[in-house]
A = this chain, B = another copy of it.
Amino acid sequence: TTAYRIAVLAGDGIGPEITEVTLNVLRAIAPRFNLDFEFVPALIGGCAIDAVGEPLPAATLESCRQSDAVLLAAIGGTKWDTLPRPLRPETGLLKLRAGLGLFANLRPAKILPQLINASSLKPEVVAGVDLMVVRELTGGIYFGQPRGIFTTESGEARGVNTMAYTATEVDRIGQVAFETARKRQRKLCSVDKANVLEVSQLWRDRLTALSAEYPDVELTHLYVDNAAMQLVRSPKQFDTIVTGNLFGDILSDIAAMLTGSIGMLPSASLGASGPGVFEPVHGSAPDIAGQDKANPLAMVLSAAMMLRYGLNQPAAATAIEQATLAVLEQGYRTSDLMTEGCILVGCQAMGEQLIAQ
């Protein structure tokens, strides 16, 4: 038996409900794969602000550091939206990413045949879409200095943020991206704005240099405006996309929305060493919190990503992914994906169906 300590950050809104289902699924598969999970809960986001006055308590970061992986549900809610920035739920998330050195964010977007009608795009445009966005997560304009709202000489307010990347930062995310593409269709598209930004010029130059070490991967470049258009026009052209923190935020959300089922999409955030963070792409959906309506599948699939990318247990990951597909195949749907002829289930019942599978 292999024992794992998993930090569990249930967060806000629907977070606790989808966490419960996910942990039950992990408990259910554990014996089959000789795994033994110790789940250690910790606070993050709004609930942490309410309990201890900050969105990422030191104890939470410490508990994550001592774990083999971190499962995160979702954070935030209108209740905390008007607090000053250091006290906002998002700030906790950004500190967690920085604190664990999670520079690589992997966001798959795959169209499932069972859910193809959920897309706002034509079925023939999205059928077969299977892409991976590799987003740099601890650099760029999210963390660049100087930043702030300053007063100019003429006495008016000026807001400033800095988009910066060093060669080292570009190279390490570039390596993750090339390695990722290598395990997929060997096509890597790097997205930047090198026709306007020097930081993008450096990004492009480093990616191009790096590609010499990956002759088996085809590297292309797109400007971010064109990449956004191409994702909408013809997403099948993409296999793996690599981009900076801000462009990745936007493009991975577009990629997610192409599937029409953002309630299905997981993500993994990885560092050079230490635990990764695995979390659904969707938010905390405060409007349906506590009503047993949430779709737990994105978090369940995030647990599968944890098994594959964080704990190196690919067989267990595949088991979860297949159970998910089987449940969809049988017609079970939470309300976000409900269509005629399907069977409406709540969050808990969806979990029970998964475990039955």
Residue numbers of A with Cβ under 8 A of B are 85, 88, 90, 94, 120-122, 125, 141-142, 144, 147-149, 152, 156-168, 193, 195-203, 224-226, 228-229, 232-234, 246, 249-250, 252-254, 256-258, 260, 262
Contact = CB atoms under 8 A, between A and B. Distances in A.
A105 to B, nearest CB: 13
Interface of A is mostly: helix
A201 B159 contact: yes
A43 to B, nearest CB: 20
Contacts of A85: 198, 201
Nearest to A246: B193
16 contacts: A120-B122, A147-B198, A158-B164, A158-B167, A158-B202, A159-B165, A159-B199, A162-B163, A193-B249, A225-B252, A228-B250, A228-B257, A229-B262, A232-B254, A233-B257, A233-B260
Contact of A258 (B88, B160, B232, B250): B232
Contacts of A167: 156-158
A226 B197 contact: no
A250 B225 contact: yes
A234 to B, nearest CB: 7
The 6 closest A-B pairs by CB, nearest first: A159-B202, A159-B199, A225-B253, A229-B257, A232-B257, A120-B125
A198 to B, nearest CB: 5
Given A156-B166, A163-B160, A167-B157, A253 B233 contact: no
Given A167-B156, A202-B149, A253-B226, A141 B197 contact: yes
A250 B251 CA distance: 10
B202 A157 contact: yes
A193 B94 CA distance: 14
A228 B201 contact: no
A196 B94 contact: yes
Nearest to A206: B157
Contact of A201 (B149, B199, B256): B149
B165 A158 contact: yes
A357 to B, nearest CB: 30
Contacts of A200: 159
A154 to B, nearest CB: 9
A99 to B, nearest CB: 16
A335 to B, nearest CB: 16
Contacts of A147: 197-198
